Structure 1
């Protein structure tokens, strides 16, 4: 990591999960020093520097590490045991130019599909898309309970535990960001009902894709894609930001809206203890079995059914 940003060296509890899709079968606790790379750091091509590790830490968890930097980081970690948790593209959108130019850069199929979805939602809502925007402290106090109600219905919250937070710490942080004009949020209504939300803090000149979700009863309407499109139009219009960071993980909507991406891994570096060796061997064997089963399912043409089962649909 460059010298501008210091990484906290205190380990934090992390559960290494044995997962099939969105379902966690079991997990193993470890005390890890988290080293999360920002979008700017991931794009810089500069290898991170690991902070000193304390005696009570099991190792490091490095997220959004560009694949091109992985070999050097592993070599520099000494006797640490490396294990790749996941591969993904960290997508981003550069706010160069204007909204119309960016929209025109999307594929014709994407543009037609988005227009069709937006028209369908507008028709159901009386002829216009009902998007409500929030950025001040008072506005976000209205946004949060509505978005929380939507979040409670989503598979992200039910299965992944990654819904919009509701605790006092989050509310306090949200208020602080709002007071500094460092957050944007949106709600999409369909026929008067809250259907989707998007919550984005701002770090410097980068907008962060932090929390998003939609009520599953509106699945056929693609409310998330329509809301994302409206949000992009707003953010381009502010002429203030340089990038939208879609953060870790894949997703069709990310690929569709992004202007670029960095091939990344989430990398574990663990002390070479017997327990850690056993954990990594178990994770490797489990992940290999899941990957094999996935290939068999896809070959049999059952991917759609398997996806529904994983999400509890």
Structure 2
């Protein structure tokens, strides 16, 4: 597998690298098994699907709110795609993938496939009536996966933005810079020796983010986190940032780069600094650095239509997050319930938008007590 993934002709994401897979397997104590689907043309391997089954809770949610948790065997693939040889791209690998997961159905209760593009043959293959396993989109309507396809230069990219957007972004950078007399800097973390300092900063900031308020606080500087990021630094993939103002770290970006793609994994900032738009400022300072590197072709913001993705992205495709379930199983029942809950949540959100109450609710979830002065 390692030699196959190292081939230049292979479309191999960061999540297919053996070092990444090894770290996931070594740091999750509840993994039941690890499998690789191999597709061969005579004696040559032409595609792989690495995946694992983990025993963990399935959380029924209404928006951000957890309702109940049910322990289940979850199937997860590495990345949101397979790795295959370009010389064989005429083959519909998805049909083989579907057949393998169909035969493997007794070994998992529910599977999860992230960001499956609308129109993918994988969806049509799983829609056949004679399958043991069927697909169940988490939401009725697809969401978007936003990308930034790098043009020739930063000036070309920023110049292509609408004037008002560009003006507002520059004003945010100017506001925080002038307020603190220029004591604003962006720190980059890329080497093995940077892992511990970055995770220390990430952990400190995270405890004061809206994410921690909504999802709960937990340690971001564990032994498993350190091992994973050291391995990625040794691979040359670690590429994280922290925004400092007057010596205080107020925002972070956890990201990785591999084979011309920057994986924008997670951004967070201290809620007390919200009026200075630290997320936008960090992006405005970080992106020119990636442009100047010259080796990044695409930045992948991942699944979801967050405002900052729409502002900084310049390309998107529609996709579904999908459950794989056996017919008439507990997994099928729970996936249907989650689908209905998500649909109900979308209706509530649309109603709040119509009543212009969405910002008040959002500020409440982010821990703001007085929304009238924001």
Shift of 1:173: 2.0
The match for 1:216 among 271, 283, 286 is 271
* Residue ranges of structure 1 left out of the alignment (5+ in a row): none
Task: Give 1:126 deviation, angstroms.
Answer: 1.9
1:171 to 204, 226, 242: 226
- 2:14 is matched with none
Supply the RMSD in Å over aligned alpha carbons.
2.8
Count matched residues: 311
8 Å contact kept, 2:214–2:365? no
Report the equivalent of 1:66: 117
On the 8 A contact 1:23/1:310 being kept in 2, the answer is no
In 1, are the aligned partners of 2:213 and 2:367 still within 8 Å (CA)?
no
Q: Indicate the SS of the match to 1:7.
A: strand
Aligned twin of 1:57: 108
- Indicate which of 117, 135, 144 corresponds to 1:82: 135
Per-residue Cα deviation, 1:212-232 (whole angstroms, up to 9, x for no partner): 210000111111111112111
Counterpart residue number, 2:171: 116
The residue aligned with 1:22 is 64
Bigger radius of gyration:
2
Match of 2:322 in 1: 267
CA–CA distance in 1 between the matches of 2:83 and 2:330?
35
Shift of 1:161: 5.8
Greater mean deviation of Cα atoms: 298-307 or 47-56: 47-56
- Structure 2 vs 1, CA of residues 213 and 235 (structure 1 numbering), >3 Å: closer, same or farther? same
Match of 2:333? 278
Between the two structures, name the one with larger relative contact order (CA 8 Å, sep ≥ 6): 1
What CA deviation, in whole Å up to 9, does each residue of 1:86-114 have, x standing for no partner?
A: 43211111223111111111111111011
2:52 alignment partner, SS class:
coil
TM-score when scaled to structure 1?
0.88
Q: Deviations over 1:43-99 (max 9, x none)?
A: x99774344325231242111100111641422582423321143211111223111
Deviation at 1:201, TM superposition (A): 1.4
Q: Is the 8 A contact 2:127 2:135 kept in 1?
A: no
Give 1:119 shift: 0.4
After superposition, the C-alpha distances for 1:128-151 in whole angstroms (9 at most, x for unaligned) are: 531112212223332221221001
TM-score by length of 2: 0.74
**1-side partners of 2:177 and 2:171: how far apart?**
10
Deviation for aligned residue 1:304: 1.5
Cα deviation, residue 170, structure 1: 1.7
Could you list the runs of 5+ residues in structure 2 that have no partner in the other structure? Answer: 1-36, 40-45, 369-374
Question: 2:63·2:342 contact (CA, 8 Å) conserved in 1?
Answer: no
State the partner residue of 1:184: 239
The answer to whether 1:7 aligns with 2:49 is: yes
CA contact (8 A) 1:89 1:248 kept: yes
Q: Are 2:251 and 2:268, in contact at CA under 8 Å, matched by a contact in 1?
A: yes
Write the distance in 1 (CA, Å) between the matches of 2:136 and 2:367.
29
Is contact 2:110-2:331 (8 Å) kept? no
Deviation of the 1:282 alpha carbon: 2.5
CA contact (8 A) 1:47 1:73 kept: no
Q: In structure 1, what is the Cα distance between the partners aligned to 2:116 and 2:326?
A: 19
How far 1:164 moved relative to its partner? 7.9
Q: Give me the whole-angstrom Cα distance separating, in 1, the residues matched to 2:295 and 2:254.
A: 18
Do the aligned partners of residues 12 and 111 (structure 1) sit closer, same or farther apart at CA in structure 2, a change above 3 Å counting?
A: same
2:74 corresponds, among 5, 13, 32, to 32
> In terms of mean alpha carbon deviation, does 152-161 or 100-109 score higher?
152-161
**Cα distance in structure 1, aligned partners of 2:295 and 2:343:** 45
Q: Tell me, yes or no, if structure 1 residue 144 matches structure 2 residue 199.
A: yes
CA distance in 1, matches of 2:345, 2:268: 27
